[in-house]
Amino acid sequence: MLDEAGRPIQGKSFLSSFTWGYGRVLAGALAELAEFPVVEQKLRLDLEKMLISQTNDGDTQPLNSFVINTALDWLVRIINFPRNMISLNAYAVRVPILRKSAEVPEPELLNSFFIEDLARVRSAFRQQDVGQALSAYVLGRTRQPRQDVVPSKPLIEATLVPSRTPFSRWPGPGRHPLVLMQQVAVNHAVEELRVSGLVGVNGPPGTGKTTLLRDVVANVLLERAVAMAKFNKPVDAFKFRARMELGQGFVKLYDLDEGLLGHEIVVASSNNKAIENVSREIPSAHAVADDLDPPLRYFASIADCLAANGQVTSTRKGATWGLVAAALGNASNRYAFTQAFWWHKDWGLRHYLQAIAEGWSAQSTQNGNTFPPVVAVD
């Protein structure tokens, strides 16, 4: 990856796993294919040493044909690729990228999403540091034999007993309850994942998997509320760790109580658009009943701003009920989130925190408490 002046950017070099793997296959070294994530790190560092050079003033120099050809010859030799299969005709394409973000853009998809994850799994098994869910998934071992739920009335009855039914549910439009097998799946998931585990719910499109997920979200929100209610005052949830200098002043770092951790949900898939739809749908005002009294409002102005990607002209008040989910993932989504969530001049969260801090400062003279400005979480 180069900047607008043709200078290589540190840490933005990428190698094709296919090209490297093809060279290993031709060399008969099939056992080395799984080592690509480790080999890639060293190759990228060595490659950047050849591509990146600096002037006496410390400025990075633009690439030229000599540097490119030298690096290409070295790379072809290292990956053991046949010379007669390589075209050495170098050319350059200038692609202007107009963006507001200072963040370097991500390249087009070059390798599999799963290479690094599979390498981590392989390493975890080698070191015998594998969790229960991953072990059960990879080895196909379950704690109990599989049971066909549909024809087993006793099993369904045991799953739907009141003691296994969550105390909360999603207040969807019309307040319609889940159908039988949706409720079975929710009850089973909540019980199975109470500590750790892995639960799979399969169903064709339109069968209510997202509706089912909302009730799981509702249960997580309730558990988090119960954990928060154990503190008499908000400051009790923070433990002072250290003081850090910042410019001319300093900030205090605090640890968040472990009881408030573990109530998060990450929605991930190989289909980015489907996940983005779910992330945007859950906070939508159309996702909850319109007869709630009082209506649901949880940082809704910030959520409205996020729904419009921070665009003032398209921000519609009441588009969302609350700040409960966000579409992240790629660099542009993350940038849009930070700009709308924190930096927006009218709806940024910093306005809320400033108001809280000012109110807290007025009370601190009476009880000696201070508002924790920064939270450090391991």
Q: How far is it, in rounded angstroms, from Cα 323 to Cα 282?
A: 10
The residue among 207, 37, 244 whose CA lies nearest residue 120 is 37
Q: How far is it, in rounded angstroms, from Cα 51 to Cα 61?
A: 9
Q: Where are the domains of the chain?
A: 17-120, 153-228, 272-347
- Residue 374 pLDDT: 42
- Residue 318 pLDDT: 80
Total residue count of the chain as it appears in this document: 378
Give the number of other CB atoms < 10 A from CB of residue 114: 10
> What residue ranges of the chain have pLDDT lower than 70?
88-107, 142-143, 310-316, 359-378
- Residue 369 pLDDT: 40
Look up residue 304 and give its two tokens: 């409205």
- Residue 57 pLDDT: 84
- Find the distance separating the first CA and the last CA of the chain, reported in whole Å: 32
Using N-to-C axis directions, what is the helix angle for 209-228 and 180-192, rounded to 10°?
A: 40
Backbone region of residue 208 per phi and psi (left: phi > 0; alpha: psi in -120 to 50; beta: other values): left
Give the number of other CB atoms < 10 A from CB of residue 213: 19
Using N-to-C axis directions, what is the helix angle for 132-139 and 115-126, rounded to 10°?
A: 100
- Residue 378 pLDDT: 31
Give the number of other CB atoms < 10 A from CB of residue 260: 15
**Residue 89 burial by Cβ neighbours in a 10 Å radius (0-12, 13-18, 19+):** exposed
Look up residue 286 and give its two tokens: 């159309």
Fill in the DSSP letter of residue 329: S
- Residue 179 pLDDT: 92
Q: Is 291 helix (H, G, I), strand (E, B) or coil?
A: coil
Q: How far is it, in rounded angstroms, from Cα 340 to Cα 347?
A: 8
Q: How far is it, in rounded angstroms, from Cα 358 to Cα 356?
A: 5
- Residue 92 pLDDT: 65
- Residue 104 pLDDT: 65
Q: Are 285 and 298 spatial neighbours (Cβ–Cβ below 8 Å)?
A: no
Give the number of other CB atoms < 10 A from CB of residue 287: 20
Within 8 A by CB and 6+ apart from 21, the residues are 33, 36
